């Protein structure tokens, strides 16, 4: 005996149903839990516990590989007394080592003392 019933579904649910070849059977199987057998809650808990243990072991392995043990303390290279650092040599855009003096209309390199005058 065929009966009909009207239901209101979200657009997302309708799109999923529209992808099915036999829409009525698909909905009936979902309702009667034939398409996906229900797992017992104890099965799900044991799977979750197993995954937690594996995740913890994986995390521990990653952390042991990523631990950085410096062999010596980093000491930056001193600037060249004449040219400063490589960034100081850019003629078109002064780096942070060049300080602008608005009165003299010039840049002064804090590392080398060199002065670049600007002519307007």
Q: How far apart are CA 44 and CA 49, in angstroms?
A: 9
Residue 115's contacts (CB-CB under 8 Å, 6 or more residues apart) are 104, 106, 107, 108, 109
Looking at the chain, the whole-number percentage of residues with pLDDT higher than 70 is 83
pLDDT at 37: 54
pLDDT tens track for 11-33: 888 888 888 888 888 888 888 76
DSSP string, 51-84: HHHHHHHHHHHHHHHH----SS---PPPPBTTTB
What are the phi and psi torsion angles at 3 (to 5°)? -130, 160
pLDDT at site 52: 84
* Cα torsion 50, 56, 59, 61: sign: negative
Q: Which residues are paired to 107 by β-bridges?
A: 100, 116
User: What does the pLDDT look like over 41-91, one tens digit per residue?
Assistant: 666 678 888 888 888 888 887 777 776 666 777 788 888 888 888 888 888
**pTM, two decimal places:** 0.37
**Domain range summary for the chain, segments of one domain joined by +:** 11-66, 86-117
């Amino acid at each position: 005996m065929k009966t009909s019933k009207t239901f209101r579904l979200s657009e997302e649910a309708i799109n999923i149903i529209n992808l099915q070849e036999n829409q009525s059977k698909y909905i009936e199987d979902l309702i009667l839990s034939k398409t996906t057998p229900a797992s017992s809650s104890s099965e799900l808990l044991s799977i979750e516990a197993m995954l937690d243990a594996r995740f913890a072991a994986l995390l521990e392995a990653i952390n042991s590989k990523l631990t950085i043990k410096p062999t010596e303390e980093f000491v930056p290279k001193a600037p060249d007394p004449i040219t400063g650092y490589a960034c100081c040599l850019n003629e078109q855009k002064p780096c942070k080592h060049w300080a602008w003096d608005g009165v003299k209309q010039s840049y002064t390199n804090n590392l080398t003392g060199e002065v670049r005058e600007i002519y307007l």
